[in-house]
Structure formats: C-alpha cells, structure tokens
Structure 1
Amino acid sequence: MTHMHITAWALGIILFLVTYAMYRSGNGKARIWHMLSRLLYVLIVATGLILYTGFDLKGAYAMWYGIKMLLGILVIGSMEMVLVRTKKQKSTAGTWILFVITLAIVLYLGFKLPVLPFS
C-alpha cells in the first residue's frame, strides 16, 4: 500500500503541474485533466487513510503521523485552490506559497519518520 500511495502522490503532483500549465495556456482540455487530478486526490487520501489506520501507532509517532496526514490534506487542498483560482484567472501567489511550504513539510516528515511496516 505504501508504494501505491507514493505512486499516487507522484502522479498527482505531475498531473497538477500539467493541468496548471494547460489552464495558463488556455487549453480547453484542461478541465478533463483537472477532473483526473481530482480522482487522484481521492486515491491519495484513501491510500493515506489506509496506511494511517493500518499502523500500530504509539506515543510521539501517532502525533507526527497525524500532523503529516493533516498537512497532506492541506497540500491537496492548496493544489485544488491553485487550479481553481488559475481557471478563474485570479491571483494564485498565496496559494502557491501555501502549497510549496506544506509540501516541503510533508516531504520532510515523510523522509524523516520511519516507515513502520519496514522498520
């Protein structure tokens, strides 16, 4: 399940960037890619919840994995906000900053925390 979650994240970020570029260029098919990225968001959240509930978390690890999960949902929310605001041709500077900061924190926690089934 860990591999599926990582693959979904990688594809989600790539699809997010492709959709963003398509919206910026005015491509009419960006809406289709936006819907596909939303489908990946659901897959990311589902696999993340399965991983989170499948671990036997104790002590500080439970807190850090909970924080990572909440920040991961915030990353997905900021990705969606960037795409919607780009589609509406509104300013996206704040949502880009939110996306980059939360993604950096989530990636840091992802590499720092042990992957419990493999430790």
Structure 2
Amino acid sequence: MTHAHITTWLLALILFFIAIGLHKAGKSRGLKVVQMILRLFYLLIIATGVVMLFDLGPITSMYWIKAILGVLVIGFFEMVLTFTIKGKPTGAVWALFAVLFVVVVYLGLTLPLGFYI
C-alpha cells in the first residue's frame, strides 16, 4: 500500500503543476478538467493513507501527526491553486505548502513504515 500512496501523491503533485501551467497559459477548460482529476487524487491520497494508518499494529502519535499534516498539505494544494486562479497573492501560501510538504515527506521516510535511504 505504501507504493500506491506514494504514486498517488506523486501524480497529484505532477497534476498540480500541470494545473498551474494551464492557468498561466490561459486554458480554463483544460484547467477545470485537471482540477477535477486532482481532487479525485486528493481522495485517493487520503484513502491510501487511512488504509496504511489502520494496517499498522500500534499507531504512535507521530503517525497521527503525519496524517494531520498530510491533510493540511492537501488543503494547501487546493489553496495555492484557488488563490492563483483568483489572482490573489500566493507567496505565503506557497511557503507554508513547501514547508509542510517537506516535513510530511521527511516524516514519511523516517517513520518505521517508510523507506530507508
């Protein structure tokens, strides 16, 4: 299930940057399609994360923290995209998104269920 989870958030990240690119190119119809597919991937990320979380034997508090931060990262995905589309300033939202994303990936790799590089 770990590979499915990593695949879904990696594809969501790619779709996110495609959506940003479509907005900058002025292709609103393609942007709407990519945004809907991206929202489906948000659900898949949450579903695979929940399955992984409850497949663990003893769930430590660090896994709960990672899960909460992961949901916040998904929220910041959507906030950056929405603020960009509406023409609002996105500097602070991008910064929080980047910091949270790095923290979640770090926790995912260092917790016992993660990969050892």
| TM-score (ref. length: structure 1) | 0.90
| Equivalent in the alignment of 1:92 | 90
Pairwise CA distance, 1:42: 0.4
| Equivalent in the alignment of 1:63 | 61
| Equivalent in the alignment of 1:15 | 15
- Residue of structure 2 aligned with 1:77, choices 75, 78, 89: 75
Pairwise CA distance, 1:24: 2.1
Pairwise CA distance, 1:25: 2.2
Deviates more, 1:102-111 or 1:24-33: 24-33
| Equivalent in the alignment of 1:30 | 31
Letter of the 1:111 counterpart: L
Residue 6 of structure 1 pairs with residue 37 of structure 2: no
In structure 2, what is the Cα distance between the partners aligned to 1:24 and 1:94? Answer: 19
In structure 2, what is the Cα distance between the partners aligned to 1:70 and 1:25? Answer: 34
Task: Please list every run of 5 or more consecutive structure 1 residues that lacks an aligned counterpart in the other structure.
Answer: none
In structure 1, what is the Cα distance between the partners aligned to 2:58 and 2:80? Answer: 33
| TM-score (ref. length: structure 2) | 0.92
* 8 Å contact kept, 1:71–1:102: yes
* 8 Å contact kept, 1:85–1:92: yes
* 8 Å contact kept, 1:12–1:41: yes
Which runs of at least 4 in structure 1 moved beyond 6 Å after TM superposition?
Answer: none
Give CA-to-partner distance per residue, 1:64-93, whole Å, 9 cap, x none.
110000000010000000011111111111
In structure 1, what is the Cα distance between the partners aligned to 2:84 and 2:20? Answer: 7
Task: Please list every run of 5 or more consecutive structure 2 residues that lacks an aligned counterpart in the other structure.
Answer: none
Aligned length: 113
Give the aligned CA root-mean-square deviation in angstroms.
1.1
| Equivalent in the alignment of 1:103 | 101
In structure 1, what is the Cα distance between the partners aligned to 2:24 and 2:53? Answer: 36
Letter of the 1:25 counterpart: A
Letter of the 1:77 counterpart: G
Q: Kindly, what percent of the aligned residue pairs are identical?
A: 42
